[in-house]
Structure 1
Amino acid sequence: MTTPGSTLGDIEGFQYVAVTVASRSKLETLQNDGLSDLLPWSAFIFSVCAIWIVGTCYLSERVLFDAVYRDTYRKLVDVARVDGHDRRRRSFVYHHVAFAFKMLLLCVLAYPTLRLICPGPAGFHTPLGTGVRMGVGVGEAEHRPTIGDILLVGSQLYCAYYTWELCYRAGLASYISILHHVVLLIIAQLGMALSARPEAHRDATIEFYMCLIWGVFDLVAELPVHLALILYRALPESRCRMVSQLLFFCSGWCLCCTVAEMSISAYLLRRSWGLWEPSFQVATPVVLVVWGTAQCIGSWQIFGLAMVGWRKVAKRGL
């Protein structure tokens, strides 16, 4: 028989637990678990994504751009022949491919990422969507795609894209940009690799969680930049004022995203510091410094490009 006193005690106990859980970040309550049952297929997924990106770039250069941009793209090709280097044309192609795949990643990963990083019971093995029949005959089974499955595929596409970018822009990128991409690839792949044996790595899940935070900021910060630099080459000089204003916005946008990323990362690290292994307690702040420096330099370069355009506007009275 339940007494009024015991009922009141149960309610107070439930309220205490609820307040305690609510006061903790998702990073502190997330269960350390394997990312996905598709982890053994990671290399295959990465290879397919890499071939997809390279094929997209190849078809764009050979067919798409010549058909869509005509005079603009042919002018870039002619400039490359005269100058003896292909910098402008490759940059034009790069920004299109980057915008397309980053937009795709943002659309595909937005929902599962928000489900995982926001407060709530969702974890890597939380199902998404309806079941899919796997196998045939007696061995047929139903598999429901999980948050971890989508995040694994998206992360491999993300890594394949940055691997392609490192190769395609080898002669165009700065040293700090190359260092940023190399560190990004190592950290992302390490986050997925550690989750294969979560029992041996207590910080496997929180490391991948932080990678998601950084990846989201990277996509959100750079999408407007790619669009602005496409317009910078594609639009006639009569629209120089609009493009310059857009570049000024992108410069400030990147800087704001960098400050927000560093602030949120510092907050999450502080809340979860005791959960990290000593090696990551040293490596993670170093990684943040490298990324923050690269993003600030990129923001300054965009500002410089905007100033060049603005001087053209002032000189020609556009």
Structure 2
Amino acid sequence: MKATQSLDYALYWDAPSPLQAAPTIGYTTPAGTVQAPASMSAVRAARTVTALDGDRRTLTLTAGDDSQYLIGPTTGRAFLITAGDGIFSVTVDRLEGTTAILADVLPRGLSLTASAELRWAGYTYTIPAAHTGTRGVLAWRISYTATATPTNEPTGAQGTVQIVRHPFATGVRSSSLIAQMPQLGDMIPRRQQDLEPQIEAALEELALRIREHIGPEQTEDDIFNPHVFAPAHRYLAAQLIYEMSAQSDLADRAGERAADLLERALKQLVLDTDDDGLIDANEIDVRRAGGSPTDVRGVFSLPSIEPTEGERVIAQQFPRWRGMQH
């Protein structure tokens, strides 16, 4: 998780099972301030289910929000709590007033002889901008009590939010990816509304590759011009999509193209090496150079004894300042 410095951050969390009550969240800011636990908010109010359609995907709900909208896998996780058949983890694809359409069919053995409850798994909490003013790691802990816990013992989850000046983003979205590569539009999985999950996974892989080319004191979030990595990002996403469809040849070609575009983008890298938020002359094209004194492609040192003519030639070809590019 990453948050932008000095802006509100909406933390989203999915409960692993139905909860007895809303969970509470407490956190410690990068400045060391400890915030007392506060209640989180459910993404939507629970609804009563009165009937299950013959397709075993369509639920009839009690009166509620009359608007029609897609939900999908991001915030659509929920629990169908029945009176006699147990609890089912479901994903709601769409709400249409008093109708909920699930992503997958329910088991044939399920029989709603009595009304059931559709309880959403997601909870949110907004961390105010006043607590994200300092860059660093914000550590959070969520405490909750699950309905299925035999002894009603509270348990918890914990994690971190990295607060940075600007989270690394290339600007690639599902719409722009499909506009550049229309063939991918026909490869959206049935349980997804778009290709955002693959694009997000490709961005994480791209960030890991970039870290290999910058110094240990910097991260991808210190890059001033992340848009130059958009072409490589698109091809990395295409590689994941082709792999998902078992089209290995196209996936390999997309991966090779992504590596080539990444290499070109790194030549345009502008990195905030002094952490002042400004572009200085020495921060342009700062891809890290390395090398080992024992590597013939890296630095070459003259021997302590008087060198031969051949050794002098090699030393001129591989001077001390030249390092192997990683």
TM-score (norm 1): 0.26
Higher helix share: 1
Higher relative contact order (CA 8 A, sep 6+): 1
TM-score relative to the length of structure 2: 0.25
Greater strand share, structure number: 2
Rg larger for: 2
